[in-house]
Amino acid sequence: MSDKKPKNVFVEGPITSEFIGNSIAKHQTKTSIGAHNIFLGQVRADDIEGKVVSAIDYTAYEDMANEKFHEIREATFDKFNLTCMHIYHSLGKVKVGEICLFVFVSSPRRKEVFKALEYVVEEIKAKAPVFGKEIFEDETHQWKENT
């Protein structure tokens, strides 16, 4: 475990395709990398008893979440041979079809990134205190629960 301070994982609003594209481009100088793997969480227009989700409004216990993201990062580096890893999560309103979670892992070899990415995403879902309020087209809402 390193003693690095937790980074801030949160970004306000949706994660744009420009941001994701730029993030990929920045790795062109890291020439020991042979494989990237990317997870993009997209807000789904769930139909719940006849009402359709139009957006999710995210809030978080940010201090604890950033610590948890940091612990997940450290554990993932311990388990897998990764060159680098980036995690971004939205706060505030993200409309259906927009991206709310961006996880990016890179390694010299492909097998590591396939395993590492699944591990990171499942850990985030289970351990990060982030709360999604599903807003329906009629402006009513319900609180989402990860399954």
Binding stretches for other proteins (CB under 8 A): 41, 58-61, 63-65, 67, 89, 100-101, 121, 124-133, 143-146
Tell me the two tokens of residue 124. 């985030």
* Closer residue to other proteins, CB minimum distance, 108 or 129: 129
Tell me the two tokens of residue 55. 């957006």
Helix (H, G, I), strand (E, B) or coil at 110: helix
Is residue 130 within 8 Å of 65, Cβ to Cβ?
Answer: yes
* Closer residue to other proteins, CB minimum distance, 5 or 28: 5
Q: How far is the CB of 78 from other proteins (least distance, A)?
A: 20
State the Cα torsion 110-124-122-88 to the nearest 10°. Answer: -40
Q: How far is the CB of 134 from other proteins (least distance, A)?
A: 9
Q: How far is the CB of 91 from other proteins (least distance, A)?
A: 10
* Closer residue to other proteins, CB minimum distance, 73 or 83: 73
What's the length of the chain? 147
